[in-house]
Amino acid sequence: MEIFAQQLVNGLVLGSLYALVALGYTMVYGLLQLFNFAHGDLFMAGGYIAVFILSALGTTLASPGIVVFVVVALAFLAAGAGSALLGLATERFAYRPIANAPRIAQLISVLGVSIVLQNVAMLVGGRRNRVFPTLFPEGKFALGDVQITYIQVFIIAASLILMVGLYLFVNRTLFGKTILATRENYDAARLMGIDVRRVVQLTFVLGPALGGLAGVMFGMYYGTVFFTMGFVSGIKAFTAAVVGGIGSITGAMLGGLLLGLLESFGAGYLSKLTGGLMGPEYRDIFAFAVLIAVLVFKPSGLLGERVARRA
Amino acid sequence: MRTHRNTGWRVSLLVALLTLLALVVVACAGDTATTTKAPDTSATSAGTETTAATETTAASTEPIKIGFAAGLTGNGAAAGQDFLNGVMLYVDQVNAAGGVLGRQIEIVSEDELNDPKNATTVAQKLVDAGVVAVIGHLTSGTTIPTLGIYSAAGIPQITPATNPDVTAQGIDSVFRVDPDDFAQGGNVGRYMFEKQGAKTAAIIHDKQAFGQGVAEQFQAAFEEAGGTVTSVNGITPGDVDFRAVLTKIKGEAPDMVYYGGVAAEGGLVIKQLRELGMEQKFIGPDQLFGPEFIKIGGTGAEGALVSFVAPPLDSTPELSKFLADYKAAYNEEPFVAQYGYDSILLIAEAIKTADSTEGKDIAAALHAGTIKGILSDYAFEENGALAGGGVIHIYEVKDGADVWIDQTS
């Protein structure tokens, strides 16, 4: 039972990170029907910005607590802001000029942005995995036999706060409602006087900001960042968003958490379930098989909405 | 659908001419590629080159080209770079003393990013560059695919890759400069059961030629000695989260965990293992030796054991001198560079003995006698394996460094 609980904790943390990244994909797709290839790399960019700042400042856990706190907060802010800016730049230079072009052109454009971001990270940060400085208190506490590190608690809590914050923003504020309105019908929204360009920009800012913060959390949790980390995580997060219901914010959260739990339980129990035939290395196959099954039975995703198509 | 005025032929002609022109330009530029090519910086390319000495014009004093291949960037780059540094240390020393047979040694180095897919491309590049011998590659996964390429071109190959398959292909021009996995995995299996008192073990490996190979040897020896393996688990290189696998192993409560793989994942495994509150003994093979595993593992790496083929660098006068020279030249501690040093030493000595730079003469000279290197006296068996089996040294990570604690045979 303790092992199950431990796997649950592992899965929740993993899932929280996927969920944060999935939000960015789902928001852009819901509004523009565009799979933003570059989003995974904005997640990576957040991690890299934090690594650069933390390495430059050179703070270690040996410094007084308040200094460490300020430095870490600074890293988060910089990463979130940096990714948001990169997202804005993506919108301005890679999307807006061809906003009325066929979808395929926009897709290639963001793919190009993705490649550029990866290569810039590689050229500036080096080809090797970069070690992320340990700045979060390393302790853990035990709930029975389950070991939970402080950083795991932090990630779950922070992700929850961010996700709830986004949900409230989109559903309860006026600005958020303009996003919903534009998503429902772009032209009607424009006719109603909504500044759709602002809405598009906002979408390209909120998603990447969350992604950038997730990138910092990833770096802190695993102690490493690498310039290809956006690629695999991006694909997984996008799949999670689709399974949750593309376009739905709660769907993305659900999908991300589901994927994290599937990977965790998959790796943990697969050999038991298959009598040793398939080991933990089949974890990704298992997780994605389940996701495919979900889509076969419910193509619009778990919380899929019927979003009116753009004319 | 054809239009009446068929002008398509003009376009086709233009394309054909341009292609021809491009081919001519590439062919001409290709001759100077080894010394003038700028480093390629795209994320998917696999080649950078360095030269150790400037070229001279007279044919009989032309530099002797020796190839070098390893992962110089990407995962495992620390080891690859260290390996190259060892080679270059010897080359600089020898060239300053007048070279070999009056000729300077020139190292043609290629980066295969420690990826088996790139290894064969890089091998072909070195063959085309006209090298007389090759040092490389560094790991088993990248060496095995290249064996046929170098051997078909008659180029002797010196490698530290430990997978037994490297010397099991019937090639008479490949030479391994360290004990193989039978020793590394096997000796350690016996050692952990007998000397460290571990009765049960869980095994993790990265499903690559080296990692899985050495893990299988460990399992065979551990079980033969009387131990029980609770589970064998595979992970994927490039992954970062191993908590699920480790939690599963936690449930099995083994006495120890054996990890077969490289430092990039190994460091994360030990870090997450300790974070999960698991206190089992942990040991891994030579790829975990050195600073990368310790850096990535952080405080979790303390107390971890690493098996390594080389003795400590202060155990003999030759090694102490090498250590001092290396630190003076590169301002850091070497960890696999001594093998690079001995690899190029072997080739240079063989060339001197054979008084020739022909591949088959070099190979014959290496098979014939015993050559004294800084790590040991090298004699090779028919298949290229190091004669006399091997002694494996056990190190423990203490205060952020590898400290020698024992040796097994």
Q: Report the residue from B231, B268, B277 with minimal CB separation from A142.
A: B277
B358 within some domain: yes
A161 within some domain: yes
* A114 pLDDT more than 70: yes
Q: What is the reported pLDDT for A279? A: 79
Between CA A229 and CA A284 the distance in angstroms is 16
> For residues B190, B195, B196 and B201, what is the CA-based torsion angle, rounded to 10 degrees?
20
* B25 pLDDT more than 80: no
A39-92: pLDDT as tens digits: 999 999 999 999 999 988 888 877 888 888 899 999 999 999 999 999 999 999
Region A91-103: mean pLDDT is: 91
B237 within some domain: yes
Query: Which residues, numbered 117 to 156 in chain A, qualify as contacts with chain B under a Cβ-Cβ cut-off of 8 Å?
Result: 118-119, 122-123, 126-129, 131, 134, 138, 140, 142, 147, 149
Q: By the CB < 8 Å criterion, does B241 face chain A?
A: yes
Question: Both B403 and B278 in a single domain?
Answer: yes
Q: How many domains is chain A partitioned into structurally?
A: 1
Q: Which residues in chain A are contacts of B241 at CB distance < 8 A?
A: 10, 14, 222, 263
Q: In which domain, by residue range, is B141 found?
A: 59-179+316-378
Q: Is residue A41 within 8 Å of A117, Cβ to Cβ?
A: yes
Q: By the CB < 8 Å criterion, does A15 face chain B?
A: no
Q: For residue A21, count other CB atoms closer than 10 A to its CB.
A: 31
Between CA B390 and CA A113 the distance in angstroms is 52
Q: What is the reported pLDDT for B202? A: 95
Under 8 Å CB-to-CB from A39, ≥6 apart: which residues? A21, A24, A25, A28, A87, A207, A208, A211, A230, A234, A238
CB pairs under 8 A between A and B: 96
Q: Which residues in chain B are contacts of A119 at CB distance < 8 A?
A: 41-43
Q: What is the reported pLDDT for B54? A: 40
Q: What is the reported pLDDT for B41? A: 39
The pLDDT-based confidence of B135 (bands split at 50, 70, 90) is very high
Q: What is the reported pLDDT for B4? A: 60
Q: Which residues in chain A are contacts of B113 at CB distance < 8 A?
A: 127
Q: How many domains is chain B partitioned into structurally?
A: 2
B257 within some domain: yes
| Residues paired with residue A141 on neighbouring β-strands, in sequence order | A148
B196-213: pLDDT as tens digits: 899 999 999 999 888 998
CA-based nearest residue to B252, from B204, B297, B205? B204
Give percent above pLDDT 70 in chain A: 97
B294-335: pLDDT as tens digits: 989 988 999 999 999 888 888 888 889 999 999 999 988 888
B116 within some domain: yes
B392-398 vs B401-408, strand pairing mode = antiparallel
B31 within some domain: no
Which chain B residue is nearest to residue A8, measuring alpha carbons?
B244
Q: What is the reported pLDDT for A144? A: 80
Query: Mean pLDDT over all residues of chain B?
Result: 85
A115 within some domain: yes
HEC string of chain B equals: CCCCCCCHHHHHHHHHHHHHHHHHHHHHHHCCHHHHCCCCCCCCCCCCCCCCCCCCCCHHHCCEEEEEEECCCCCCHHHHHHHHHHHHHHHHHHHHCCCECCECEEEEEEECCCCHHHHHHHHHHHHHCCCCEEECCCCHHHHHHHHHHHHHCCCCEEECCCCHHHHCCCCCCEEECCCCHHHHHHHHHHHHHHCCCCCEEEEEECCCHHHHHHHHHHHHHHHHHCCEEEEEEECCCCCCCCHHHHHHHHHHCCCEEEEECCHHHHHHHHHHHHHCCCCCEEEECHHHCCHHHHHHHHHHHCCCEEEECCCCCCCCHHHHHHHHHHHHHHCCCCCCHHHHHHHHHHHHHHHHHHCCCCHHHHHHHHHHCCEECCCCEECECCCCCECCCCCEEEEEEECCEEEEEEEEC
Question: Both B298 and B404 in a single domain?
Answer: yes
Burial classification of residue A311, based on how many CB atoms lie within 10 Å of its CB (0-12 exposed, 13-18 middle, 19 or more buried) = exposed
B100 within some domain: yes
Which of A10, A17, A41 to probe by mutation at the B interface, max B CB count within 10 Å?
A10
| Token pair 């085309």 in the structure block, residue | B128
Q: Is residue B184 within 8 Å of B202, Cβ to Cβ?
A: no
A102 within some domain: yes
Region B97-124: mean pLDDT is: 90
The pLDDT-based confidence of B408 (bands split at 50, 70, 90) is confident
Between CA B165 and CA B181 the distance in angstroms is 10
- B76 or A96, higher pLDDT: A96
3-state helix, strand, coil in chain A (%, to 5): 75, 5, 20
B263-305: pLDDT as tens digits: 889 999 999 999 988 999 999 998 898 888 998 998 899 999 9
A224-225 vs A130-131, strand pairing mode = antiparallel
A194-246: pLDDT as tens digits: 999 999 999 999 999 999 999 999 999 998 898 889 988 888 999 999 999 88
- Provide the 3-class DSSP secondary structure of residue A294: helix
Question: Both B266 and B290 in a single domain?
Answer: yes
Query: Mean pLDDT over all residues of chain A?
Result: 89
Q: What is the reported pLDDT for B26? A: 66
Question: Both B139 and B151 in a single domain?
Answer: yes
Give percent above pLDDT 90 in chain B: 44
Question: Both B269 and B339 in a single domain?
Answer: no
Which chain A residue is nearest to residue B232, measuring alpha carbons?
A279
Which of A281, A285, A286, A288 to probe by mutation at the B interface, max B CB count within 10 Å?
A281
Looking at residue B75, which CATH number applies to its domain? 3.40.50.2300
> For residues A60, A230, A166 and A185, what is the CA-based torsion angle, rounded to 10 degrees?
160
B42 within some domain: no
Q: Report the predicted TM-score, pTM, of the whole model to 2 decimal places.
A: 0.77
Question: Both B294 and B373 in a single domain?
Answer: no
B64-70 vs A224-225, strand pairing mode = unpaired
Question: Both B162 and B72 in a single domain?
Answer: yes
Q: Report the residue from B233, B240, B299 with minimal CB separation from A280.
A: B233
Q: Which residues in chain B are contacts of A264 at CB distance < 8 A?
A: 243-244
Are B42 and A119 a contacting pair at CB < 8 A?
A: yes
Question: Both B268 and B166 in a single domain?
Answer: no
B134 within some domain: yes
Which of B73, B118, B245 to probe by mutation at the A interface, max A CB count within 10 Å?
B245
Question: Both B257 and B399 in a single domain?
Answer: yes
Query: Which residues, numbered 247 to 276 in chain B, qualify as contacts with chain A under a Cβ-Cβ cut-off of 8 Å?
Result: 247-248, 250-251, 264, 268, 271, 275-276
Question: Both B166 and B143 in a single domain?
Answer: yes
Question: Both B248 and B211 in a single domain?
Answer: yes
A99 within some domain: yes
* B56 pLDDT more than 50: no
Question: Both B174 and B321 in a single domain?
Answer: yes
Q: Is residue B178 within 8 Å of B310, Cβ to Cβ?
A: yes
Q: In which domain, by residue range, is A90 found?
A: 16-230
Q: By the CB < 8 Å criterion, does B240 face chain A?
A: yes
